[in-house]
Structure 1
Amino acid sequence: MGTGFDVAAEIGDGLRDREEAWAFIRRFLAAWTVALTDADGCDEAELAEAEERLGLRLPTALREGLALLGRRQDLQQQDPLRRPAQLVVVDGVLVFRTENQGCAHWGVPEADLGRDDPPVVVQTDRGEWRPFLDRTSSAFVELVLTETLLFDDDLRDAAELPAALAPVLYENFRRVGFPDHRSWCAGIEGPIRFFAGPGVLIRQDGGADLDWIHVAGQTPGHRRQVLKLFPVEWAFG
């Protein structure tokens, strides 16, 4: 597959804590798109004002994540973060991210707000809250990877993946050491998983009978190499 940033190699067996998550995000964005700057994050005054308004202390990982990339616009397309002034408690959950048409919300249960890096739940399009990821820092990593997969039409694509072609994915790309998680779409019960190779990132969305894959290339050439492997009808190909 050639050279390029390899998400699977960079994450290895998994990100052990929030410090490793923030370091990975910085490396990934610097290599794949544009390096983070201080202007990409929310400032301390915004975060303090949100805490005063809500009458609670934001978890450390949520504070750090918003301070790292809360203003980064190219990562705010599909399921954008809420700015500190938009944080809200719904059904006992502190909501910090919302699907762009309001179909789903991500947040931290109030019972877990005292933890440094608490679990995140997602509200499905049917209004049900379900577990998403076991650490807030992992949810920020997922946001960065997913927004990268869905943002640039010149570098991404998507297609239905018949079961017969699944071995092509497994044989050519390495599973990323990132936890399985579930879609906000209540009708999709299978796991979401990431795969990668040098300069290539793929997300597999499991369904009952048919999977979807979303592909992003670090360059148009990386994207073309992936599309050639799969004889399917690509959305943008």
Structure 2
Amino acid sequence: MSDFDLSKKINQAIQDRRETWDFIRSFVSHWVTPLKEADGYSEADLLAAEERLGISLPAALKEAYNLFGRRSDLTRNQEYLLEPTALYLDHGALIFRHENQGAAFWGILVADLQYPDPPVYKCWVIVNNVVENWETWLGRFSLSCIDLILWESLHDSSRATEFCEIDEEELELVDQLYQEVPYPRQLAPWHIRLFTGTDLLLYYTDAGLFVRAHWLNE
């Protein structure tokens, strides 16, 4: 059994980005496999990306890539965190993450690259590659990493995972049976609710309920 108190840790994690990185280290240690030094990209890798793009990368982005950027099991199960060599500028933003079928991408506006921990925006791609306007995703890049790690954890094929569509009555039952984690509004750009049970993580969105068990698939 995991003794990781997700509810307590996530509330600490939103205070500042140092707490965010501590949360990610703890979550990964308890729910996946502990982070190692080799799991991140080097300063040389990130400097090469800056030179190629002709920009300075925000401090928080570099810290995240340095901490867990090479861990595909944490960043590339469902959506795709781009490698430093694949980061690119488009539509007035630095694009760092893609939806798995190319239907959306996440970016930092070029005007915000000056900030250490800038806001993140999401943009949908519709028919014939027509791109919609940027929508606010999360107020800080470091906060988007919390959601990224939790979301990708729910799609780890080495673990016991499940998805189902549920109605309001079934959601009420989930609410009764499991502890809801106080998911801060700034971490919930859409209708997201997070629950935990004994070695279970439950992530509700308007699409349905995603469930992840702590144990490995046999």
TM-score by length of 2: 0.88
CA offsets, 1:196-226, max 9 Å, x none? Answer: 23422111112xxxx50101111269xxxxx
Secondary structure of 2:102's counterpart equals coil
Deviation at 1:193, TM superposition (A): 2.9
In structure 1, which of residues 127, 133, 141 is the aligned counterpart of residue 138 of structure 2?
133
Tell me the percent identity.
Answer: 36
Secondary structure of 1:158's counterpart equals strand
In structure 1, which of residues 208, 211, 214 is the aligned counterpart of residue 210 of structure 2?
214
Aligned to 1:12: 11
8 A Cα contact 1:7 1:176, kept in partner: no
CA offsets, 1:74-129, max 9 Å, x none? Answer: 12121121111111011001011112222221110111111111110111243322
After TM superposition, list the pairs within 5 Å mapping 1:115-130 onto structure 2: 115-126=115-126, 127-128=131-132, 129-130=134-135
Change (3 A) 1:124 1:194: farther
8 A Cα contact 2:13 2:23, kept in partner: no
Change (3 A) 1:13 1:193: farther
- Could you tell me how far apart the structure 2 residues matched to 1:193 and 1:42 are? 32
Aligned to 1:180: 188
- Could you tell me how far apart the structure 2 residues matched to 1:163 and 1:153 are? 30
> Which runs of 4 or more aligned residues in structure 1 lie more than 4 Å from their structure 2 counterparts after TM superposition?
none
Change (3 A) 1:52 1:198: same
8 A Cα contact 1:180 1:192, kept in partner: yes
Secondary structure of 2:80's counterpart equals coil
Deviation at 1:149, TM superposition (A): 0.4
Deviation at 1:13, TM superposition (A): 6.3
Change (3 A) 1:3 1:28: closer
Deviation at 1:14, TM superposition (A): 5.3
- Could you tell me how far apart the structure 2 residues matched to 1:177 and 1:105 are? 23
- Match of 2:11, as an amino acid? G
Deviation at 1:170, TM superposition (A): 2.0
Aligned to 1:230: none
- Could you tell me how far apart the structure 2 residues matched to 1:169 and 1:220 are? 23
- Match of 2:181, as an amino acid? R
Gaps of 5+ in 2: none
Secondary structure of 1:219's counterpart equals strand
Aligned to 1:195: 195
Deviation at 1:6, TM superposition (A): 3.3
After TM superposition, list the pairs within 5 Å mapping 1:95-110 onto structure 2: 95-110=95-110
- Match of 2:22, as an amino acid? A
- Could you tell me how far apart the structure 2 residues matched to 1:97 and 1:43 are? 19
Aligned to 1:32: 31
- Could you tell me how far apart the structure 2 residues matched to 1:124 and 1:131 are? 12
Deviation at 1:155, TM superposition (A): 1.3
TM-score by length of 1: 0.81
